[in-house]
């Protein structure tokens, strides 16, 4: 099973928000090899800067922890992924990082793990809302 983590669900886990335990369970599946976990570099940047605003040390520690779970970074190479994200963004009222997460999940043929963000409503994606 392939999983793409949106920024919001990872923040839920690291900030101890509602359903952090559900996110932890998915991260454990990645760590154990039961699933493959991915995060786009743009979503990693979003995760990092949100935590960095709170504390540079926290941002570095949480990023190292996330990578320890075995989450693989998906870089934007070539034109396919960023163009798909742009098409998703253009056709919907969605943020660019969320559009990139969707495009990443589509490219990898993976399930996208999302939070309570209303931007995802009405989009035809294989997603689990946490």
Q: What's the structural domain count of the chain?
A: 1
Two tokens, residue 74: 């998906």
The verdict on residue 120 lying in a domain is: no
The verdict on residue 111 lying in a domain is: yes
The verdict on residue 54 lying in a domain is: yes
Q: 92-97 long-range contacts, Cβ below 8 Å, gap at least 24?
A: 92/119, 92/122, 92/123, 93/119, 94/119, 94/120, 94/123, 95/119, 96/42, 97/7, 97/42, 97/43, 97/46
pLDDT tens string 63-111: 999 999 999 999 998 899 999 999 999 988 789 999 999 999 999 999 9
The verdict on residue 83 lying in a domain is: yes
Per-residue pLDDT at 119 = 75
Residue 114's SS3 state is: strand
The verdict on residue 85 lying in a domain is: yes
**6 close to 98: Cβ distance less than 8 angstroms:** yes
Supply the range of the domain harboring residue 103.
2-115
Per the model's pLDDT, the better-predicted residue between 123 and 111 turns out to be 111
- pLDDT band at residue 33 using 50, 70 and 90 as cut-offs: very high
Domain of residue 36, CATH code: 3.40.50.1010
DSSP 8-state class, residue 71:
P
């Amino acid at each position: 099973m392939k999983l793409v983590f949106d920024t919001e669900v990872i923040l839920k886990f690291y900030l101890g928000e509602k359903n952090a335990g559900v996110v932890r369970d998915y991260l454990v599946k990645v760590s154990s090899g039961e699933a493959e976990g991915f995060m786009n570099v743009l979503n990693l940047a979003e995760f990092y800067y949100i935590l960095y605003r709170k504390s540079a040390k926290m941002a570095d520690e949480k990023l190292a922890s996330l990578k320890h779970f075995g989450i693989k970074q998906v870089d934007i190479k070539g034109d396919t992924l960023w163009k798909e994200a742009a098409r998703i963004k253009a056709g919907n009222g969605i943020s660019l990082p969320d559009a990139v997460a969707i495009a990443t999940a589509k490219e990898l043929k993976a399930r996208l793990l999302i939070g309570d963000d209303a931007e995802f409503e009405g989009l035809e994606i294989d997603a689990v809302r946490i």
